[in-house]
Amino acid sequence: MLDILAAGGARDLTTQRIADAVGVTDAALFRHFPDKDAMVSEAIDLFVARMSSSFPEDAAEPLPALREFFSRRLAMVSQYPEMMRLAFNDRLAEVAGIDGARTVSDMVERSVGFVRDCLLRARRKGEISQDVSVDVLVWTVTGVLRGAAGARGGGATTTQLSPEQVWTDLERLLRAEPTTSRAARKFVKKK
């Protein structure tokens, strides 16, 4: 059902399409669910469960926790590409009603909040750049995750890096010193 929503939105979410996707008759669906709203509720629960599986159990150290989150989320969205599309569009919220839409939004905010918290803690420990706003770093992490997921899902990107290489490069960006500092050090070394 999540893949139907991700691909076509609310207009494509018919009980017949859902039945076809799971390989049962339309009538058989209603033996398991009282109505379409119950099916949507189950889809939201599945969305939340899959997204929640990305969060590490131990987030004591910020960069290892962020790395684990990044790796788990990339693995999950590689297996279920519709998850990333649903997290960043309104298709699931369109059919979910107010409470369901809030649940979807809360999960996305939890994910972004986790990234932000890890980055803030890493900054306080001096592990990442102090010269770039945390908002830009959050956008960088989430943007790289979306880009890597798109590449793994057959997107337009021609180069497909391993998840480990993607994280290694991302961590280099997070830890990067400002260009002016490197240039200044080179200048001082030449003298």
CB 141 within 8 A of CB 70: yes
187 within domain boundaries = no
79 within domain boundaries = yes
Number of domains in the chain: 1
Looking at every residue in the chain, the average pLDDT score rounds to 82
Alpha helices in the chain (DSSP H): 2-8, 15-22, 26-32, 36-52, 62-79, 82-87, 91-124, 134-152, 163-175, 179-190
157 within domain boundaries = yes
pTM: 0.79
pLDDT tens digits, residue range 84-113?
777 776 767 777 778 888 888 899 999 999
Rg of the chain taking only CA atoms, in angstroms: 21
137 within domain boundaries = yes
182 within domain boundaries = no
Q: Is pLDDT larger for residue 161 or for residue 5?
A: 161
Q: Please tell me the distance from the alpha carbon of residue 140 to that of residue 108, in angstroms, as a whole number.
A: 16
* CATH code assigned at 28: 1.10.357.10
Q: Please tell me the distance from the alpha carbon of residue 136 to that of residue 138, in angstroms, as a whole number.
A: 5
Domain span at 25: 2-176
Q: Is pLDDT larger for residue 88 or for residue 21?
A: 21
pLDDT tens digits, residue range 120-167?
999 999 999 899 999 999 999 999 988 887 775 555 544 677 888 899
181 within domain boundaries = no
